Amino acid sequence: MLAYVGIGSNRDGPAVQVERALAELARLGPLRGSCLYRSEPWGRGDQPWFVNAVAEMACERPARWLFERLQAIERAAGRTREGDRWGPRVLDLDLLLFGDQRIDQPDLVVPHPRFARRRFVLAPLAELAPELEDPVSRQAVRRLLSELDDPGRVEKMRRPGGVSGSAPRQRRPARPEVATR
């Protein structure tokens, strides 16, 4: 089963926090990570910008198992759940999608109820799986992104670096430079 996890941070070296989270997620199973994105805060603008990414993971265990591991990774990074819901955070891990499952429990809702309305989630998700369908609307991620009415700015930064355990991407061999006149 493929699971998609949204990753975000805007405290304590956000890019480092996101890369550490990707490394921790890779310990749970095969993983492919998006580029890192810089995004305006959603819900409350008087805080630092976020760094976001999405991880695509192969997971043979139940969604509940993965959800509990995500919360443990957040706690290990110093995340607390007290205070402002939309305030700054050292690490935020959201289970966005878990195959085509729909789960509605008090503490776990899949698909994530707001993933299709957030550019900072859809941009990295579209990078990994543009044709993936939202189990609720049955629309492809690329279409959700193209039709999104979210004024928040999202800027692609770079590929994650130094993430041990992540599945390497295939790279084309470098082409020799050809002199042009």
* Alpha carbon 141 to chain centroid, angstroms: 13
Active-site annotation holder among 32, 69, 89, 119: 89
Active-site annotation holder among 11, 64, 79, 114: 79
Active-site annotation holder among 92, 118, 119, 134: 92
Active-site annotation holder among 94, 118, 119, 134: 94
- The Cβ of residue 35 has, within 10 Å, a number of other Cβ atoms equal to 16
Q: Active-site residue 46, yes or no?
A: no
Q: Active-site residue 12, yes or no?
A: no
Dihedral, CA of residue 125, residue 21, residue 26 and residue 60, to nearest 10: -70
Helix (H, G, I), strand (E, B) or coil at 159: coil
Q: Active-site residue 89, yes or no?
A: yes
Nearest CA to 12 out of 23, 21, 3 is that of: 21
| Cα end-to-end span (Å), the chain | 52
Active site residues: 79, 89, 92, 94
